[in-house]
Chains A and B, each alone.
Chain A
Amino acid sequence: MSVFVAVDNIEKVFSLSSGGEYVALKGIDLKIKKGEFVSLIGHSGCGKSTLLNMIAGLDLPTEGIVTLEGKKVTEPGPDRMVIFQNYSLLPWLTVRQNIALAVEEVMGGLPKAEHKNIIEEHIDLVGLRHATDKYPGQLSGGMKQRVAIARALAIRPKLLLLDEPFGALDALTRGNLQEQLMRICDRYQITSVMVTHDVDEAVLLSDRIVMLTNGPGSNIGGIIDVDLPRPRQRMEVVNHPSYYSLRSEIIYFLNQQKRIKKLRAKKVAIVARHGLEKVNLEIGFVPLTACAPLVVAKEKGFFVKHGLDEVNLVRETSWRGIVDGIVGGYLDGAQMPAGMPTWLTAGGDRETPVPTVTALTMTRNGNGITLAKKFYAKGVQTVTDLKRMLLESDSKNHTFGMVHPSSMHNLLLRYWLGAGGLDPDRDVRLETIPPAQMVADLKAGTIDGYCVGEPWNFRAAMEGIGFTIATDLEIWQGHPGKVLGVREDWANAYPNTHIALVKALLEACRYCADEANHQEIRELLASRQYLSTEVAYIHLGDPNTYTCNLETPMREYAHHRFFGDGMNRPSRTEHLWMMTQMARWGHIPFPRNWVEILERVCRVSVFSTAARELGFSDIKYRREPIKLFDEITFDAEEPVGYLNSLAIKRNFTMAEIHLDAPRVLAA
């Protein structure tokens, strides 16, 4: 369909009373199709109402234009009727007179009898027959808003603009009105733009949700297509599989905006000290047992020992937060799933390559695949059992959780399913869920299983809601888990800091590997600012008997491994394996220039320098081919041949990933 409303490169500047200027909106581009319902969502003061007012013509943009059916909007008009948050009814006119005022003014050409018909029709439409001669002061908030809706619809606007229409109403009334509005919009195919801060309202009503970033200079941070089928019922949409992912997507965005605002507020200068370029670092982590090296480095003073006096560990609830932090530049470095540096470099995030490097593999192992208890009851003990069971019951969708496309959990789960003859995209559904949410989702039954790092497999087993069907031992013993990742331009700008960071973490890794320290580390991790969970759920080495309580001879759990020969040095072969796996599932195209990419992602030199300076030069590195449980050997010389040889895969693409010449961050 053609473009109905076009917002073209809008900028809005307000002059302040103090003489300055405030850039409210910047570079807003939005195209709205006929019949579409679009929501604008964002924090207070992000300029969403300003944007709506500019579409209405109540306010004019400083730069750029708004067009309706190709005509420039220069003033307000009844073809773009607005429903205001505070109803804007005239209190001295009755319900009927309020509607009549609009109808008579706008539809002056029609005969009087026609006016009357339209007025009465719309009073009935919103169910206010019993209140036609009442004054707004005698009506409840919900009824007032219904009058406003009737008044707006009665003049047959081309575009309906709603400014937080239900914001002031109680939940029950709001729900009813939302459904009413939805029905009316469906019936008359009304094009609407709504400003809201209510996430559920946006998901329920919209075809598309436009998320605005925080001001000053707000712009569109993302547009979400809501693919819920219409007609929608308020009570039913919540059961749709994509409802919660849509919802959490928006909530994530809004939280992220809040955090950015906070970070902006405390923007600090770069502190150089001890011959290091920057000692005040923000390091992101996700609360998992595998974040132990970071926690230890911080709590046991390894950062300070290596001159990094002001390291701040930033807790992110999901890997998505890490990605945004690294891409947005407000994290200096982060604990990353092993595949993430390659994924970012190859343009996995919004198809924009963000060259990222890793110089340290911090952990290995510590993953597991957990299935819901009901599968255990049906005797599922291997992937083959699972396949049989899924084939028998093809009635129901089976959903599995993983944490991020680039994480080993995703790759291993897919590999495990694929090796068992299950297509991870067609036979089941994989969904990205933050690690800490997995257990709750499994308990609620919205997912059937997941692959995630500890402590979340233990926890499901201990709470008796799931069981671990496969651990690292069954898939890939000693696979890389989490790595330290920083942006390439950051690494180039702060080379000595980078080495110091690797040194501190490498020492912390060694500390973690010593079993004598395990009890202490478990307690550190369990504390509020890190995992905020019970010590019993956290295990660095062998798990206790709980997980083996299921009568089947459960496999031995693989330990987290933090330090040792071949443990910490970034391995190009492993990163290549992950690259091929990500290409296999279509997360990234397979780079034609994969050799160059691998060279840039793996900063072996930084690791070597750090290890040498720490006196760890005796740790060896392994050079053996990667072999997983299915006995297929991965040939690092022939990745494309390997990809082609796999039975279950997506149609992967090959592409040249153009990376800029290594840049130095403007310090």
Chain B
Amino acid sequence: MTVSTKVRPTRSNSRNSVVNFWQKHKDNILPPLFGIAGFLILWEIFSLFPGVRLPGPSSLWTDERTRTLLLYPFYDRGGLDKGLFWQTMASLGRVAQGYSLAALVGISMGILVGTKPLVNKALDPIFQFLRMVAPLAWVPIALVALQQNQPAAIFVIFITAIWPILINTAEGVRQIPQDYINVQRVLKLSKQKFFFKILLPSALPYIFTGLRIGIGLAWLAIIAAEIVMSGIVGIGFFIWDAYQQNYVSEIILAVIYIGAVGLILDRAIAYLQKLILPGE
């Protein structure tokens, strides 16, 4: 049998591929670009009205202090006077600690609560009650209890992020399909095998849902916590400081940082989920 195979042009023109990419994706790229541009223009026009004290987006560049912050995120003059990258990293560091703790405790408690109905009955009212408490309300308690800013901030993140993780994990464990439980019972699987081969994989999608909600909440909480806790490096306090000194365009810049970081965190967890749970 003779098969005539055409030799494909392997020497793909780089210019060509850019054009191809553009052709393929322009419908996905152009609308958001127009949307953002439109929003910024409207904002700029709005800020030109007399009596409006909110600066326009152009002030990020026109205001000198802000331009410095924008151009040099990595500067560090000691004390609280650091570039925005370091401010953000400080906040992220706290989130990392508090959130890791929340994930660890949340998942373990969730599994415990999910597998032991009795424990669930005992603890559920407390969980339901505590999870309704707003993150900011925890700040004074944390400060009183822990005395110092740093552990208090971590505690606030922990206590905010733990509930969705815990409750989702417990639900995930409770929702293990009866079929899988039957497999375990018929095969008489050992506890350890059951945990790793059935319970954990089965509850994983739920756990990740919890983790994703948790990371969003943690990031929300840290800003709130830092605003209240004066005198620490962190993007929350940075905003508060800028507000006190009436550098409004600096606040805008910080808000952009916060939004961007939040988005990246959420996407990171989603990516992790995709990595661990293909096809879910």
A106 near B183: Cβ-Cβ < 8 Å: no
A84 near B188: Cβ-Cβ < 8 Å: no
Interface residues of B, dominant DSSP:
helix
B201 shortest CB reach to chain A, Å: 4
Q: Can you name the residue of chain B whose Cβ is closest to the Cβ of A88?
A: B179
A90 near B183: Cβ-Cβ < 8 Å: yes
Q: Can you name the residue of chain B whose Cβ is closest to the Cβ of A92?
A: B201
Known contacts A105-B188, A137-B279; A90/B197 CB under 8 A: yes
For the complex, give the distance between the alpha carbons of A92 and B197 in Å: 8
Interface string of A72-101 (1 = CB under 8 A from B): 000111101110101110101100000001
A105 near B193: Cβ-Cβ < 8 Å: yes
Q: Can you name the residue of chain B whose Cβ is closest to the Cβ of A101?
A: B197
Chain B hits for A81, CB < 8 A: 186
Other-chain residue from B180, B187, B201, B279 in contact with A106 (beta carbon distance below 8 A): B187
B186 near A77: Cβ-Cβ < 8 Å: yes
A58 within 8 A of partner (CB): yes
Interface string of B175-203 (1 = CB under 8 A from A): 00001101101111110010001100100
Chain B hits for A501, CB < 8 A: none
A82 near B198: Cβ-Cβ < 8 Å: no
For the complex, give the distance between the alpha carbons of A88 and B188 in Å: 15
B186 near A76: Cβ-Cβ < 8 Å: yes
- How many B residues are at the interface, by size bracket? 10 to 19
A220 within 8 A of partner (CB): no
Interface residues of A, dominant DSSP:
loop
B258 shortest CB reach to chain A, Å: 36
Chain B hits for A77, CB < 8 A: 186, 188
A38 shortest CB reach to chain B, Å: 19
A84 near B187: Cβ-Cβ < 8 Å: no
For the complex, give the distance between the alpha carbons of A50 and B182 in Å: 14
Chain A hits for B180, CB < 8 A: 88, 90
Chain A hits for B179, CB < 8 A: 84, 86-88
- How many A residues are at the interface, by size bracket? 20 to 34
A56 within 8 A of partner (CB): yes
B200 shortest CB reach to chain A, Å: 9
Known contacts A88-B179, A90-B183; A76/B193 CB under 8 A: no
Interface centre among A92, A93, A106, A137 (most CB of B within 10 A): A92
Interface positions of A from 28 to 84, Cβ below 8 Å from B: 56, 58, 75-78, 80-82, 84
Chain B hits for A604, CB < 8 A: none
Q: Can you name the residue of chain B whose Cβ is closest to the Cβ of A78?
A: B187
B198 near A84: Cβ-Cβ < 8 Å: no
Interface centre among A78, A81, A87, A101 (most CB of B within 10 A): A101
A223 within 8 A of partner (CB): no
For the complex, give the distance between the alpha carbons of A155 and B197 in Å: 18
Question: Interface on A for B, CB 8 Å cutoff?
Answer: 56, 58, 75-78, 80-82, 84, 86-88, 90, 92-93, 101-102, 105-106, 135, 137, 155
Question: Interface on B for A, CB 8 Å cutoff?
Answer: 179-180, 182-183, 185-190, 193, 197-198, 201, 279
Of the A-B pairs whose beta carbons lie under 8 Å apart in the complex, a sample of 11, sorted by A's number, is: A58-B185, A75-B185, A76-B185, A78-B187, A88-B179, A88-B182, A88-B183, A90-B183, A101-B193, A101-B197, A105-B193
Other than the given A78-B186, A101-B189, A102-B187, 13 more pairs (CB < 8 A) read A58-B182, A76-B188, A78-B188, A80-B186, A82-B182, A88-B179, A92-B201, A101-B187, A101-B193, A105-B189, A105-B193, A137-B279, A155-B187
